[in-house]
């Protein structure tokens, strides 16, 4: 419920049929218009019903009532949908993280594909020449990165709550397990509660960031080196006492985790105990090992990331002689695999910290001679900026949710100038279908490109997050 909404609790026994599902996984039903609405040619009131699915016949309880729509929760399911699933997580309906666990995974994928296609049609007025087959992977225990909130509830419940926030709420869900975290991390949630409760700064430890890397040495005879490396970053707003430090060391030894501390901003993150370790993920197809710090931006789903990198590079259709641009390159997730396939890759990233990490990763993989990195604010790109990058036959773009509008606009201006610097093919990785559709509109209607193909990547099962991939080819006039 949003701030300012008046809570209500109105039970409605007249059943309604659910017609659609929104991205918050709320069923959408529409009431028949009343006399006044019918006379004015208006449709009836819309009801958003939490937990309801399309095709279902349900009764409901109204929790928020407005003039044109109401919000509600299910009272009774009279006719369930054939694609209804039993949620696996005990915190489902409370935790705001996985709102689609009650929907069969195949239906989730179909819904996300429909969202992508609808946004392309309605925003860009374009249909791809080819719809790519949806990419799927592990449904559970896939999340290798997470930011857990910690809140002191000792007055009310005698404990600390550690987990994700409740749906559209500032409250932390009371959860002791999480099915999308690796099991060994999920099992740590109750143990982390006990740890934080024992600290002198129990009310000044608001956040614990989790990062899981691949085993240090999967081929080792040492069982410990065959296990995933797990780093926990504790956000300590006050200095630790000697007793606090010993509790953290004991916890690290007992649970085989690597503890980091963050006393101030993100730049203050440092390993606490043990002092050294190895956190990385690997891309075996390209013989790449990618070291990272626990607060670096990396994909949370390692298996899907491997598949995505592989598909993106195949779709680029690169040759050994090609020069390639990798925009929003981060720590080199696409840059370094590409360097195994082409003559040279230029990676461009807006953050200095990530640029530094990317250079270190290139050196770690022996690719210094085939890649170079520059720091540049890509949200301020102009035609002159693109000219300074030089000619590249292929581009790969993986922007944040804001998309790559300024780059697309700059390409439009270069197109108007008949520049020979425009790439022949662009592969665009998107985490927001609406900004992707906006950029499709610019590239295809103003910059001389066609949308050759597009499809979804189910990077975050059971959530409303829609990751997608699109391929643009320059039209030959």
Catalytic residues: 431
- Taking the mean position of all CA atoms in its chain, how far away is CA 253? 31
| Whole-number Å distance between alpha carbons of 348 and 371 | 11
Q: How far apart are the first and last CA of the chain?
A: 54
Neighbours of 381 (CB within 10 A): 21
Instruction: Transcribe 361-395 into DSSP letters.
Output: HHHHTT-TTTEEEEE--GGG--HHHHHHH---SEE
Does residue 392 contact residue 417 with C-beta atoms inside 8 Å?
no
Residues 114, 109: Cα–Cα separation, whole Å: 9
Q: Give strand pairing partners of 204.
A: none
Bin 426: left if φ > 0, else alpha if -120 < ψ < 50, else beta. Answer: beta
The CA–CA distances, whole Å, from 88 to 76, 85, 167, 179, 363 equal 20, 9, 17, 7, 43
Helices 405-416, 433-446: axis angle to 10 degrees equals: 0
> Which parts of 256-339 fold into alpha helices (H)?
302-316, 335-339
């Amino acid at each position: 419920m949003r701030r300012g909404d008046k809570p209500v609790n109105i039970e409605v026994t007249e059943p309604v049929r659910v017609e659609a599902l929104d991205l918050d996984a709320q069923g959408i039903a529409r009431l028949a218009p009343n006399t006044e609405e019918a006379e004015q040619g208006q449709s009836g009131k819309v009801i958003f019903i939490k937990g309801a699915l399309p095709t279902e016949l349900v009764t409901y309880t109204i929790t928020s009532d407005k003039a044109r729509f109401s919000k509600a929760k299910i009272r009774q399911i009279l006719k369930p949908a054939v694609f209804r699933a039993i949620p696996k997580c005990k915190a489902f309906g409370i935790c705001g993280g996985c709102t689609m666990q009650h929907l069969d995974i195949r239906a989730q994928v179909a819904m996300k594909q429909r969202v992508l296609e609808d946004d392309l049609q309605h925003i860009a007025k374009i249909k791809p020449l080819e719809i790519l087959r949806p990419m799927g992977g592990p449904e559970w225990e896939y999340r290798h990165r997470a930011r857990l909130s910690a809140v002191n509830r000792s007055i009310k419940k005698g404990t600390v709550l550690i987990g994700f926030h409740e749906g559209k709420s500032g409250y932390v869900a009371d959860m002791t397990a999480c099915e999308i975290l690796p099991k060994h991390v999920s099992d740590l949630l109750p143990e982390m509660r006990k740890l934080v409760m024992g600290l002198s700064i129990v009310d000044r430890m608001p956040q614990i960031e989790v990062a899981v890397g691949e085993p240090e040495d999967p081929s080792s005879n040492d069982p410990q080196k065959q296990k995933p490396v797990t780093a926990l970053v504790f956000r300590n707003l006050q200095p630790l006492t000697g007793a606090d430090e010993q509790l953290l060391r004991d916890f690290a030894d007992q649970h085989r985790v690597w503890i980091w501390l963050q006393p101030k901003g993100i730049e203050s993150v440092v390993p606490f105990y043990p002092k050294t370790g190895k956190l990385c993920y690997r891309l075996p197809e390209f013989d790449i090992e990618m070291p990272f710090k626990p607060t670096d931006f990396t994909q949370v789903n390692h298996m899907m990331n491997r598949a995505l990198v592989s598909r993106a590079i195949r779709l680029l259709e690169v040759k050994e002689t090609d020069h390639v641009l990798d925009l929003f390159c981060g720590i080199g997730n696409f840059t370094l695999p590409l360097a195994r396939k082409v003559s040279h890759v230029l990676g461009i990233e807006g953050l200095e910290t990530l640029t530094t990490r990317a250079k270190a990763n290139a050196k770690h993989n022996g690719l210094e001679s085939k890649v170079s990195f520059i720091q540049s604010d890509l949200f301020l790109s102009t035609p002159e900026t693109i000219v300074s990058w030089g000619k590249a036959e292929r581009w790969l773009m993986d922007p944040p949710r804001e998309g790559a509008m300024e780059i697309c606009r700059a390409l439009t201006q270069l197109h108007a100038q008949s520049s020979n610097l425009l790439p022949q093919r662009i592969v665009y990785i998107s985490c927001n279908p609406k900004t992707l559709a906006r950029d499709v509109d610019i590239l295809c209607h103003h910059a001389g490109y066609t949308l050759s193909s597009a499809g979804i990547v189910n990077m975050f099962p059971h959530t409303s997050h829609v990751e997608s991939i699109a391929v643009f080819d320059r039209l030959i006039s």
